Amino acid sequence: MRPDTNHTVGIVDDHSLFARSLEKLINSFPQFKVIFHAKNGLHLQEKIEASDVLPEIILLDINMPVMDGFETAEWLSLNHPDIKVLALSMEDDEQTILKMLRRGVKGYLLKDIHPEILNTALQELNEKGYYHSEKVSETLLHSLTPDEEGRILDFKENELTFIKLACSELTYKEIAVMMDLSPKTIDGYRQDLFKRLKIKNRVGLVIFALKKNLIHL
C-alpha cells in the first residue's frame, strides 16, 4: 500500500458541464486527482492506449453515445482489470445495476452526487476495492430472491457457464466437451433449468438469459 495521497482518477462522461464540475469536486479532495477526461468509450480507449500512466479509478457514465457505459465497462474489465470503475448513472433500476456489476464495475453511484458520498465512494474504492451504496446492496440481495414469476435466479458457476454456452450455436454435445463433462450431465443441467425456469426449450433459455442480462449480444 502506498501513502494515501494522489490517487489518480479518470472521468468518462458525455455531459461536459457536469464532468467539469465533477473534476473540480474531485480535485478538492486531497487524496485524489483527475488526470484525464474522455467524452465516450472510444475516446477513453484512445487515451488509455496512448498514455502509459493509467488512472487507478475511472468514473464512468452509462449514458453515452458512440460507445456506452456497458461496452466500455466490458472493455475495461477485459483490458485493464486492475482499474477500478465507478459507474455513474441516472437510472437506478435493478437491471441496469446488475448489468454493470456483471461487467466488473466496482461501484455504482446515482448521478445526483453529494460531495461526501463521492468522497466516501472514492475512499472505499481505494481501501476496500469496491463501493456499494445501500441501493446496490439491496439490488444484489434482490437478485438472489425469486423473480416476478417466482423463479430462483441463483445459479451455480457450472450452470451459468452452461447457460452462456447454450446461448450459442453449439450443440449440447459440444458444450459437454467444452465443459469437460458427460453429455448426460449437461442434459441434467438442461432439464433442471427448464423446470426451475419454467421454460419449454432452448429458445426459452436464450430469451431468459437475455432478459436477465446473463448474456449480452
What is the binding site for its own copies (CB under 8 A)?
14, 63, 65-66, 89-91, 93, 166-169, 171, 199-204, 206-207, 210-211, 217
Among 91, 127, 146, 173, binds DNA (CB under 7 A): 173
Taking the C-alpha atoms of residue 217 and residue 167, their distance in angstroms, rounded to an integer, is 10
* Least distance (Å) between residue 139 CB and DNA: 24
Who contacts 183 (Cβ-Cβ below 8 Å, separation ≥6)? 172, 173, 176
User: Is the Cβ of residue 82 or residue 169 nearer to its own copies in the bound state?
Assistant: 169
Taking the C-alpha atoms of residue 173 and residue 120, their distance in angstroms, rounded to an integer, is 49
Taking the C-alpha atoms of residue 167 and residue 81, their distance in angstroms, rounded to an integer, is 25
User: Is the Cβ of residue 120 or residue 171 nearer to DNA in the bound state?
Assistant: 171
First and final C-alpha spacing in the chain = 39
What grid cell was written down for 131? 463501493
**65 binds, options DNA, its own copies, none, Cβ within 5 to 8 A by partner type:** its own copies
CA-angle at 186, arms to 149 and 154, nearest 5°:
35
Binding to DNA by residue 168, rule CB under 7 A?
no
Among 84, 106, 190, 212, binds DNA (CB under 7 A): 190
Binding to DNA by residue 155, rule CB under 7 A?
no
Look at residues 74, 63, 8, 17 and name the one whose alpha carbon lies nearest to residue 40. 63
User: Is the Cβ of residue 18 or residue 194 nearer to DNA in the bound state?
Assistant: 194
**160 binds, options DNA, its own copies, none, Cβ within 5 to 8 A by partner type:** none
Q: Which residues bind DNA (CB under 7 A)?
A: 156, 158, 171-173, 181-185, 187-191, 194, 200-202
